[in-house]
Amino acid sequence: MWGGRFAEGPAAVMREINASIPFDKRLWRQDIAGSKAHVAMLGKQGIVAEADSVTIAEGLDRVAAEYEADGVTDDLALEDIHMATESRLAELIGATAGRLHTARSRNDQVATDFRLWVRDSIDAVDAGLKALQQALVARAEEHADSVMPGFTHLQAAQPVTLGHHLMAYYEMVRRDRSRFADARVRMNECPLGAAALAGTGFPIDRQSTARALDFDRPTANSLDSVSDRDFALDYLMSAAQASLHLSRLAEEIVLWASQPFGFVSLPDQWSTGSSIMPQKRNPDAAELVRGHSGRIVGCLTSLMITMKGLPLAYSKDMQDDKPPVFEAHDLLALSIAAMTGMIETLTFRTDRMRAAAEAGFSTATDLADRLVRVAGVPFREAHHITGAVVKLAEGKGCALSDLSLAELQAIDPRIDEGVQAALSVDASVAARASEGGTAPERVRQAIARAKEALGS
């Protein structure tokens, strides 16, 4: 490719460090699509002969068929997927292949291919996240009434329903999908036609190539077109946030599957054993999802550092933009699929959950609220009274609801006789009927809205 300017070929190490074909061959579908759109425009504009345009397009289809059947060969001498495709096209159709690169550069070519790939990846991730949401909603509907402890600081705080807990993750994933959707809208501009950095003197039609590739419009500035990787960073930021949510859910599964909790049982297909301890059932799938999150965040950091000091326009550093995006995509897709499978097949030990909710004085706030509502006690005073009640129950080794009315009124006579019924975990969750609350009726309303949004 450099024959007209260079007298000698590259050193062996230079050839290896310069080549990106081992990883950017993943772009072959997008490279073929971009090239076909470009050559169709060249023919329509009369920049190349219409017959040559057709010949090139047919040749590209033959190259694509070979790639589909046999994959792309890692030929370091051809450097990247763009040159590999053009070289094979020349072998198939001869010198006419040399007309394909008229009015474009590898700079706008790779920027276009990469955007197309990221856009396809966003669509795939969104489908996976939607499946995870459907799994969460289905299990939440099963357990809209199942009582479990809600935690703050990993200490039992107030009773909630398992359905409510699962729907919290539905909301996280809803925001994840919205971030990917926003990124997709922002990135859907076509760089093709920016050429190396300054545009081209040929009478190209950028609107037609943008339409052909399903972009909303061409990019507005040729310098920015070839140097922008915001779309890749947007993708990685969205992926990192989604992976953090997956990691939080994975951590809860790890905790819940441990013997001290015993809230869930993982099926065999999502567990592993021990090489030495035959009794072990390890939640390795959840632990790996948790671990993948750190790697995805690392991919984001890697590309941010690559881009932070680059002057306009294109620099070879930007060849390293694709490996972190490819790695993050693979890890995220695997994590979403694993998490969806776990949620669909987990066995929830609702008896253990209820027992834990009943054991931790988690209805203490209900006593304070009742003193406010029924007796008109200021909340801070009610809080103090309730603390004394908890101290008494703790000393006696019993639940709040097991204390007699006489014992309660000895602490404060304003505690009324209906208090024991209000202190059950079922009464507690039913009382939390404010919008967005854990009351089963509110959980079912949230599930109904989610099912409508998911079209299920």
Residue positions annotated with a catalytic role: 153, 274
CB neighbour list of residue 237: distance below 8 Å, 6 or more residues apart: 179, 183, 300
How far apart, in whole angstroms, are the C-alpha atoms of residue 247 and residue 134? 18
The DSSP letter of residue 403 is: S
Bridge-based pairing state of the strands 155-161 and 147-152: antiparallel
Query: Which residues on adjacent β-strands are paired with residue 282?
Result: 272
How far apart, in whole angstroms, are the C-alpha atoms of residue 264 and residue 287? 15
Three-class SS state of 426: helix
CA atoms within 13 A of residue 455's CA, in its CB half-sphere: 3
Three-class SS state of 264: strand
How far apart, in whole angstroms, are the C-alpha atoms of residue 101 and residue 239? 34
Q: What is the DSSP string of 135-168?
A: HHHHHHHHTSS-EEEEEETTEEEEEEEHHHHHHH
Q: Which of 343, 138, 120, 334 is CA-nearest to residue 242?
A: 334
CB-CB contact of 405 with 419 (8 Å): yes
Q: What is the DSSP string of 168-182?
A: HHHHHHHHHHHHHHH
Three-class SS state of 347: strand
Radius of gyration of the chain (CA): 30
Number of residues in the chain: 456
How far apart, in whole angstroms, are the C-alpha atoms of residue 401 and residue 390? 11
How far apart, in whole angstroms, are the C-alpha atoms of residue 22 and residue 213? 25
Write down the residue that tokens 């920049």 correspond to: 47
CB-CB contact of 313 with 227 (8 Å): yes
- Could you tell me the CA-to-CA distances from 324 to 296, 299, 306 in Å, in that order? 8, 5, 11
- Could you tell me the CA-to-CA distances from 27 to 80, 111, 117, 306 in Å, in that order? 10, 11, 7, 21
